[in-house]
Structure 1
Amino acid sequence: MKVCRRSAALVAASALILGGCGSTGGNNSGGSGSSAGSKVTVEFWNIWTTEPMKTYGVNAIKEFEAQHPNITIKNVATENEAFKSKITTLTQSGKAPDVYQTWGGGVLKQQVDAGLVKDLSGDAGSWLGTFTDAAMAAYQVDGKPYAVPEDIGMVGFWYNKALFKKAGIADAPSTWSQLIDDVKKLKAAGITPMALAGKDKWPGHYYWAYLAMRIGGLDALKQAGETKDFTGQPFVEAGQKLKELADLQPFQKGYLGAAYDKPDGQAATMGNGKAAMELMGQWAPSVEKSSGKGIGDDLGFFPFPAVDGGKGSVTDAFGGGGGFAIGADAPAEALEFLKFLTESNEHRKAVQTGGVLPVLKGEEDAVTDPNLSVVAKNLASATGFQLYLDQAYPPAVGQEVNDSVAELIAGTKTPEQVAQAITETAKSE
């Protein structure tokens, strides 16, 4: 299992990834110069709110502070959806945290264009060369690195083998039509087919994005990003097929008000064995266990199915990872902390928790979780890669994708209206 073996495919595919002014830390020396041993506070914005990364982060910060008595790390951990809103509000005011979570793509580019992010190419030295090319792809803007990866992976279906067996399903589906048939079988057996966080919206966009990929291929997404036109056949048909699924009422009761990682949310529904599937990224097993009980050996994984007659390949992956950027006016100690988190010995600890996948060259043997190994193997054979649409596109466009797809799933927007709304937002940017 070697995540970095996919770098050739993903570097080539990275072209498909479309694509502040004051530190928020206290007692900073100002700018990016060193404080020469004086007391400095570095504000660290992250989404490490669930296990295992929650505990890992606390321990990593303690270790760093023990090694650097003059530096205090202010840990600002915020749930994923709340984080996105919070960082958008801050950057719109012309500021950025010292070190903060990013998914790269169009969102990072917009922050770079606003002068809020530190260019890491000038003083990062050989450090940047320790990352795999694939992992770094989403964080390059105009050929320069403005963030570094901490995780990388893909979205796919996590499923409950015991519930599939109970419904008489022998094998995971490989085509969309088979998936639809399996949903019907699960419902007939009295089993909730899928868990979904309707309130958070971003999990729903995974379905529409993957369907557009499978129908039109990666080129369709690239072209739409360039022309700002999402009214073409692949996008309308993606909506039609998603509506076909939604009309079967496959999701858990109350899904429209469900968050992702809350006790009554998507991950807990799956982790407590109350749904047969969820479409989610590589972090799913750990969040299922953190939010619910986890289903142990009953948990399996399969890639998003092919669509009959579609131009996309089942080996084209959709996903991304987490990374960290540094605010333009952060103190030098912010870079020191980020280097600490991503140096080999420390990052291997994070990988060994099962919370993240390797982003450093030669780190693959640190993966011990069998579920993550399956994801890594799928990534290793990936023929193409697309970043999450709500990160690949400018923030307003990504938000419209999430909002419109959520309305489609809820039955208040048609496939054509979804495509038109996203197009109008893209053209207004």
Structure 2
Amino acid sequence: MGTPHLSRRSFLATVSAGAAAATAGPLLAACGGGGSGSGGKTTIEWWDIATTEPSQSLYPQIIKAYQAAHPDVTIKITNLENEAYKAKMTAVTASGKLPDIFVTWGGGVLKQQVDAGLVEDLTARSASLASGLIPISLQAYQFGGKTYAIPHDMGMVGFWYNKRLFAKAGIKDAPPTWARLLEDVRKLKAAGITPIALAGKEKWPAHYYWSYLALRIGGTQALKQAAASNDFSAPPFVEAGRQLKALADLAPFQQGYQGAGYDAPGGEAATMGSGRAAMELMGQWAPSVQKDASGKDLGADLGFFPFPVVEGGPGTTTDVFGGGNGHALRKGAPAAAYDFLTFLINAENERKLVSSGGFMPVVKGAESAIADPNRKLVAETLAKATGFQLYLDQAFPPAVGQEVNDSVTDLIAGKKTPEQVAQAVTKTAKSQ
């Protein structure tokens, strides 16, 4: 996903409390440190990104059930669209007034909030809970052996494709290699079909391509070296840019993609869901958002395949790029806030979340609730993963993630060369 726009130094320094309040408006005032209570009552402020189905319907149901069992607790949920959420969180983090519960993708963004002393250490409280969770689901929220968030969704990015449009273009199966994918893009264009839907306006969907190509060309070791050295100028990253440029040169995206949002009307998800594009590179949530944004269901026409291998590179389809969603607590949040997080992923609610089609399991054994064959494939791929890389715009500090998103978008638009992308990301990483 995307990241806030401030570097580590400016993350807490450049926005004063007054400016943050002006930016965040009534949401910041409503937050106000959270956990308000009077007469034995506790109100929990929960900020999330549940603006689409099925979470938009499921979360109120779960809240209602929790409140029925805990009449002294009120859960107030505020749902924000992805980009708006990140902007608001940047402002309230600068003010030091986080909501009691807030959604997080982990990585560098959460680490900065932790370093600022704004987030609860959940290590001791979550020890017994963690033993029942899929280990990979916790990785993005752990630093120095401590746990700072509880996952509720876990998955990976891959290609979602329209089987009917593939068949119309004479493509019999999913491409196992990057070279084959480029060939299939040419076949789709020749058949008058838009090959790929992309939300160019929001930028974060574009960074998936560069990141995955670097992972395939250099393997997980290339990403580990970059994280350790803050140097993205190594050959795998430059070559990733060259391969992405080769794709962009084919003009594979829908008309007007530069101004398209992700889940907005006419955006990436709606274009894919309505059958007006053959592919999108997106996370495990894609089918439900496609349906919600387009009002249509591709049904059996929708397929999934892992990001192809790049010939000659050590990366394999078992090296997974992606992440999930977790919830963290502000420092000093009421005990009821953590209690609600455990309730959110109890056995009954986990089954509801997973069977809804919008979530992937984090609790061991919950994969049995998956009926859709595509989502089963995602779960199986994750189970077999030999390597995992969190979204680059979350794995690193916010300024680095933003530079990745900006530079990759510029590369696709022909405004930067592959070498300039690698140099720009390296320069930003070394300045942190």
Q: Same fold (TM over 0.5)?
A: yes
Specify the code of the residue in structure 2 equivalent to 1:378: T
State the match for 1:310 in structure 2. 313
User: Which of 184, 188, 199 is the equivalent residue of 2:186?
Assistant: 184
Q: Write the distance in 2 (CA, Å) between the matches of 1:384 and 1:173.
A: 21
Structure 1: where are the runs of 5+ without partners? 1-19
Q: Determine whether 1:322 maps to 2:349.
A: no
- Which range moves more in the overlay, 297-306 or 132-141? 132-141
Is the contact between residue 206 and residue 279 of structure 1 (CA under 8 Å) also seen in structure 2?
yes
Partners of 1:124 and 1:271 in 2: how far apart? 38
1:143, distance to aligned residue in structure 2 (A)? 0.4
Equivalent residue pairs, number: 406
Bigger relative contact order, structure 1 or 2 (CA pairs below 8 A, ≥6 apart): 1
**In the alignment, is the contact (CA less than 8 A) between 1:196 and 1:204 conserved in 2?**
yes
Aligned match of 2:412 in 409, 414, 429?
409
The letter of the residue matching 1:185 is: K
Alignment of 1:173-212 (within 5 A): 173-212=175-214
Q: Deviations over 1:220-242 (max 9, x none)?
A: 01101111111111111100110
1:336 aligns with 2:339: yes
Q: Which residue of 2 aligns with 1:426?
A: 429
**Is 2:116 the counterpart of 1:121?**
no
Assess, with a 3 A threshold, how the Cα gap between structure 1 residues 259 and 181 changes in structure 2: closer, same or farther: same
- Is 1:73 matched with 2:75? yes
Asked whether the 8 Å contact 1:98–1:330 carries over to 2, the reply is yes
* Aligned counterpart for 1:41 among listed residues 22, 43, 53: 43
Going from structure 1 to structure 2, the CA distance change for 1:29 and 1:55 (only over 3 Å counts) comes to closer
Which of residues 359, 368, 391 is equivalent to 2:394? 391
Q: Which residue of 2 aligns with 1:6?
A: none
Change (3 A) 1:37 1:121: farther
- The 1:174/1:125 distance shift into structure 2, 3 A limit, reads closer
C-alpha distance in 1 between matches for 2:29 and 2:346: 24
Query: How far off its partner does 1:182 sit?
Result: 0.4
Residue of structure 2 in register with 1:8 after alignment? none
User: Residue type matched to 2:161 in 1?
Assistant: Y
CA distance in 2, matches of 1:235, 1:123: 40
Q: Of 258, 281, 286, which aligns to 2:260? A: 258
Q: Does 1:219 align with 2:221?
A: yes
Aligned pairs (5 A) from 1:13-28:
25=31
SS at match of 1:150: strand
CA shift in 2, pair 1:130/1:299, >3 Å = same
Structure 1: which amino acid aligns with 2:180? Q
Task: Check the 8 A contact 1:25/1:42 in 2, yes or no.
Answer: no
Report if the CA contact (8 A) 2:35-2:43 is conserved. Answer: no
1:167-178 to structure 2, matched below 5 A, reads: 167-178=169-180
2:359 corresponds to 1:356:
yes
The equivalences for 1:359-370 within 5 A come to: 359-370=362-373
2:160 to 158, 161, 184: 158
Question: Conserved in 2, the CA contact under 8 Å of 1:24 and 1:96?
Answer: no
TM-score (norm 1): 0.91
Aligned to 2:141: 139
Aligned-partner Cα distance in 1 for 2:336–2:50: 21
Aligned partner of 2:112 in structure 1 is: 110
Letter in 1 for 2:376: S
- Mapped partners of 1:153, 1:222: distance in 2: 20
TM superposition shift of 1:29:
6.0
Offset of residue 121 of structure 1: 1.9
Which moved further from structure 2: 279-288 or 339-348?
Answer: 339-348
Q: What pairs up with 1:233-252 in 2 under 5 angstroms?
A: 233-252=235-254
In the alignment, residue 230 of structure 2 is paired with which amino acid? K
Q: CA deviation at 1:93?
A: 2.0
- More displaced 10-residue stretch of structure 1: 54-63 or 256-265: 54-63
Shift of 1:269: 0.2
Give TM-score, length-normalised by structure 2: 0.90
Contact 1:157 1:277 in 2 (8 A): yes
Deviation at residue 89 of structure 1 after TM alignment? 1.9
**Contact map agreement 1:167 1:189 (CA 8 A) in 2:** yes
Using the alignment, how far apart are the partners of 1:420 and 1:374 within structure 2?
37
Residues 108-134 of structure 1 show CA distances to partners (whole Å, capped at 9, x for unaligned) of 111110001000123345223221212
Q: Tell me the secondary structure at the aligned position of residue 130 of structure 1.
A: coil
Contact 2:35 2:100 in 1 (8 A): no
